[in-house]
Structure 1
Amino acid sequence: MRRADPIGIFDSGVGGLTVAAAIRRVMPDEKLLYLADVARQPYGTKSPRTVTRYAVQAAEFLVGRGIKALVVACNTASAVALEAISERFPSLPVLGVVEAGAAGAVAASVSGRIVVAATEGTCKSMAYERAIAGWRGDSRVTCIPCPLFVALAEEGLTDGPIVESVARHYLAPLFDGSGGEDCLVLGCTHFPLLADALGRLAGPKVRLVDCAQATATLLVETLAGCEAPADTGGGLTLIATDAPERFSRIAQRLFPTMDEASRVELADLF
């Protein structure tokens, strides 16, 4: 591992840019290499076997570009493929957003009654339930699949009546005050883009946990002593497996401060 080497990040689409943005805020000198496997998105509706194969291929691509650490910025891939990636690259620091989000949820919740909004694949894996139970055995975790949230975020519909209607459809029964839920985990990297609408639905007494920020904090701890030199200059390289122009437009619309979003490389993983 060389300190000036980039950090690799991958997701099935634009959602993982919430993680990249969080990392840039806390580690501005690091070079980031972001891969979006848009040709095969979404991951959340696919089988664990397929997601694992896709995730390992993405990791192999980024390792081939000389990264010093890998962030799996996809909750579905983190839930089902993290072990396979770590076994494939045993000397590479590999971080997933699920463990970071679970730790953040335990820290945020007083009652231990935690709701996780996620993809179908993440909920089926029960990864959040296991991770949170490892930190707090008396917790009660309810994982709710919210697949339309991904499409809303990708289309730039991050607030307003459509988002509010879909959010009520999925989550309103859980935040009527009867169950004591006091924490909502945004268990997909697209979901922080909808945070304003989700926060209003959950109410002021419910704390939202952004897995992106939690992952960035964990990465700082993981790379202690291996940070990029101050004169490295940082930077973000975006790579997509299909439709780079469309990916660039979406990324620029959702993350206008990422001026690099106008330049997207095209890659083939298969």
Structure 2
Amino acid sequence: MQQAIAILDSGVGGLTVAKEVMRQLPREKVIYFGDTARAPYGPRTPEEVRDFTEQIVDYLLQYNPKMIVIACNTATAAALDYISDKVSIPVIGVIHPGARAAISATKTGHVGVIGTVGTVSSGAYTAALKQLSPFVEVQSRACPTLVPLVEQGLFRTAKSFDIVREALHGMRPEEIDCLILGCTHYPFLMDTIQQVMGPRVKLISSADETAREISTILYDKGQLASSEDLPVHQFFCTGDSVMFQSIATEWLGEHIKRTPVVWQITKL
């Protein structure tokens, strides 16, 4: 049986990472877990987020994955090191890939970060960026209204522009040349965020870089899938399965139309 890449998130945000994995590594089986019943994670304490992440990882380990991807910035900040020490397979998060992409993209050394309250207050992005480039200037802003907008499937509605504009108030486009979308939910709002920030600011999503890191690690370990058969992906959620499936189907589009998918709901 083909070993899967297990991807977890507080809700639907990690689908942005799953989509890139499916695009870059079409032979790889994905098991996705969205904790939609307990989203958002941003306002929760780091201890609570770590406990939730550990519960999901324990659940996913029964499927014998070859890698775990914590596709949630809040959970990455709170639990990556803890989970890495707990399991024997590779565990990667989305903060360092996003930071690397931003350092590569910035020409002025002035980088903006938007994320959940938990991610921004952790200082994880600032630490990761300064580890790569000590002289980088970082502006951070918590945007707690954006995750519920995505989880409720309202990211394409007319009112999303006003919510995004208000959330980004204070993030001055003239002072940065790239903006890290420090929550995997935010790429759902990429076009709207770009409209608010203007064409001068390059938006950085960690999904592309995370998928490349997954590919590199699996290649180095000799674990890239070699089967010619299309994989059967599995998607789990803990909350409203109808809403989850609707958002996932719209976001993943052709990937799940041409690839077998199993939808499941579970309780933790």
The TM-score with structure 2 as length reference comes to 0.92
Structure 1 residue 144: Cα displacement: 0.9
* Aligned position for 1:71: 69
Structure 1 residue 172: Cα displacement: 4.1
Amino acid at match of 1:196: D
User: What SS does the corresponding residue of 2:159 show, helix, strand or coil?
Assistant: helix
- Deviations along 1:159-186, whole A, 9 cap, x unmatched? 4642222222232432352x2x001111
Call closer, same or farther: CA 1:161–1:175 in 2, change over 3 Å. farther
* Aligned position for 2:243: 246
Query: 1: CA distance between counterparts of 2:232 and 2:212?
Result: 19
Amino acid at match of 1:253: E
* Aligned position for 2:6: 8
User: What SS does the corresponding residue of 1:40 show, helix, strand or coil?
Assistant: coil
2:46 paired residue among 21, 28, 48: 48
Residues 106 and 135, structure 1, Cα contact 8 Å, conserved in 2: yes
Matches within 5 A, 1:42-191: 42-89=40-87, 91-159=88-156, 161-177=158-174, 179=175, 181-191=176-186
Q: CA RMSD in A?
A: 1.8
1:208 paired residue among 203, 207, 212: 203
- Deviations along 1:184-235, whole A, 9 cap, x unmatched? 1111111001111111222222111111111111111111121001324223
Call closer, same or farther: CA 1:176–1:191 in 2, change over 3 Å. closer
Query: 2: CA distance between counterparts of 1:261 and 1:53?
Result: 32
Residues 17 and 207, structure 2, Cα contact 8 Å, conserved in 1: yes
Query: 2: CA distance between counterparts of 1:23 and 1:57?
Result: 23
User: What SS does the corresponding residue of 2:129 show, helix, strand or coil?
Assistant: helix
The TM-score with structure 1 as length reference comes to 0.92
Residues 153 and 193, structure 1, Cα contact 8 Å, conserved in 2: yes
The gaps in structure 2 that reach 5 residues or longer are none
Call closer, same or farther: CA 1:242–1:261 in 2, change over 3 Å. farther
Structure 1 residue 111: Cα displacement: 1.3
Call closer, same or farther: CA 1:262–1:220 in 2, change over 3 Å. closer
Residues 34 and 238, structure 2, Cα contact 8 Å, conserved in 1: yes
State percent identity of aligned pairs.
35
Query: 1: CA distance between counterparts of 2:122 and 2:170?
Result: 23
Query: 2: CA distance between counterparts of 1:141 and 1:121?
Result: 17
* Aligned position for 1:220: 215
Amino acid at match of 2:205: D
Amino acid at match of 2:179: L
User: What SS does the corresponding residue of 1:10 show, helix, strand or coil?
Assistant: strand
Query: 2: CA distance between counterparts of 1:130 and 1:176?
Result: 22
Call closer, same or farther: CA 1:206–1:34 in 2, change over 3 Å. same
Q: How many residues align?
A: 264
Structure 1 residue 28: Cα displacement: 0.1
User: What SS does the corresponding residue of 1:264 show, helix, strand or coil?
Assistant: strand
